[in-house]
Amino acid sequence: MRKEQFTAVVVTLSLAIPFTILALVAVAWIDDNLARIVASLTSPQVDWQAVVREAWSRWPEVLGMLVGQALIILILVLARDAALAENKR
């Protein structure tokens, strides 16, 4: 049992630490470049109709991700119910 707990902690930290560092770097970059980002969004060179068309063309992907997440949650709920029912026997 101790080995599984240690492995879980190591795996969690090996995933959490790099992503935390990546998030901190991203926040620092956005903080340094926020003025340029806002200026580029408000410039007349941005073709907002093209941006909207591109975003609208991505709705099937977003829908697929939402359905996938709902299925994962459903599987987790059903697996938990099955495990609880099995433990009550």
> What are phi and psi for residue 19, nearest 5 degrees?
-70, -30
pLDDT of the residue at 1 = 66
CA atoms of 56 and 7, how far apart (whole Å): 43
pLDDT of the residue at 23 = 97
pLDDT tens string for the chain (89 positions)? 688 889 999 999 999 999 999 999 999 999 999 999 898 888 888 888 998 999 999 999 999 999 999 999 999 999 887 777 777 76
DSSP symbols for 6-72: HHHHHHHHHHHHHHHHHHHHHHHHHHHHHHHHHHHHHSTT--HHHHHHHHHHTHHHHHHHHHHHHHH
pLDDT of the residue at 18 = 95
Tokens 């093209």, residue located: 50
pTM: 0.49
pLDDT of the residue at 27 = 96
Per-domain residue ranges for the chain?
Answer: 1-46, 47-89
